[in-house]
Amino acid sequence: MMLALNPHETALILIDLQNGILAPQRYPYSSDEILERCKILAEHFRQHGATVVGVNVGWSADQQDFPPGIVDTPTPKPALEEMEHWMTLAEGVVQPGDILITKRQWGAFTGTELDMQLRRRNIRNLVVAGIATNMGVESTLRHGWELGYHMLTIENACSSFSSELHQMAFQTIFPRLAQVLPNGDALSFR
Give the CATH number, domain containing residue 134. Answer: 3.40.50.850
Q: Is residue 117 part of a domain?
A: yes
Distance, in Å, from the CA atom of 146 to the CA atom of 114, rounded to the nearest integer, reads 14
- How many structural domains compose the chain? 1
Give phi and psi for 51, each to the nearest 5. Answer: -80, 140
Q: Is residue 188 part of a domain?
A: no
Q: Is residue 166 part of a domain?
A: yes
* Cβ atoms of 88 and 54 closer than 8 Å: no
Give phi and psi for 45, each to the nearest 5. Answer: -65, -45
pLDDT at 61 over 90: no
Write out the H or E segment, with its range, that includes residue 163: helix 163-168
Q: Is residue 43 part of a domain?
A: yes
Q: What is the pLDDT of residues 16-31, one digit of tens each?
A: 999 999 999 999 999 9
pLDDT in the model for residue 1: 64
Distance, in Å, from the CA atom of 154 to the CA atom of 80, rounded to the nearest integer, reads 34
